Amino acid sequence: MARTVSATAADADCVAVVEYLKSQTMYPASPTGVCVEKTREIHRLTHSLVLWRFRLKRIPEHGQVFIEEIASDAVQILPQLATGFVKPFKLLARGFVENTLRHIYFIDHRIEFEKMNRLPKWYVSVEELFDYALDHPLLRDAEKQFDAINRMKMLYTDLSAAVHGRRVQDFQMKIALSKITYDDALFVEEAKTLARCTEAVNFTLASFHLTQFRSFDLPDRKIILSSLSQSAKRTLAAL
């Protein structure tokens, strides 16, 4: 992962990942066409999130650890969805949002980072993290054109409802291990959730680290940009 990865190399990596997951019985032995198609998409999206871990340079520890956690969560996405574990996936997706916000906040707050790790009951609420990001001088103008942070906020609410079972419709009602299996419909639906989340996270990180992002090798930039809509790409290009 530390080297530049072209789209072709990323596709080859996807094949290798699938073969490994099959060997660990963490992927359907005979996947449907839908499964194969969405697997490529999910791999591309998670790969784009992992790239930040290896491409951002000179990031202090109080910002770097959250980028590393995003990468750690990203590599767990495909095996969770391929084995039918939807609620753990939603928890991981919610973590992308939380750790993006923590990265933005704590990279500017070394003392608070130390305090968070020293005092078990001290923390910065998610609401405070969102407010800080929305008013950050590196993000304010971008947010006016493409509301990535607001999208993360709405997504965070939806994911939290699913994780905590806030409504009956959020309950999964899995009463036996045999009911936890791969499902095409769920795979497709959660791939959409992942796409929404990845777009917002990648846009926010690219805006926040704009100079560094523009210095990434072209294949890496293309992989990250492939997760963005045309509107997000235009906004990013105009910053």
Supply the DSSP symbol for 216. S
DSSP 83-138: TT-HHHHHHHHHHHHHHHHHHHHHTT-HHHHHHHHH-TT----HHHHHHHHHT-TT
Nearest to 134 by CA among 199, 204, 202: 204
Domain limits, the chain: 7-238
- Prediction pTM value: 0.91
CA distances from 20 to 15, 78, 189 (A): 9, 12, 24
188, burial (CB in 10 Å: exposed 0-12, middle 13-18, buried 19+): middle
C-alpha 105: how far from chain center: 17
pLDDT value of residue 1: 42
As a whole-number percent, the residues of the chain with pLDDT over 90 amount to 85
Q: Which one, of 81, 99, 72, 78, lies nearest residue 208 by Cα?
A: 99
Structure confidence by residue, pLDDT tens digits, 120-164? 889 999 999 999 999 999 999 999 999 999 999 999 999 998 886
Taking 60 as the threshold, does the pLDDT of residue 39 lie above it? Answer: yes
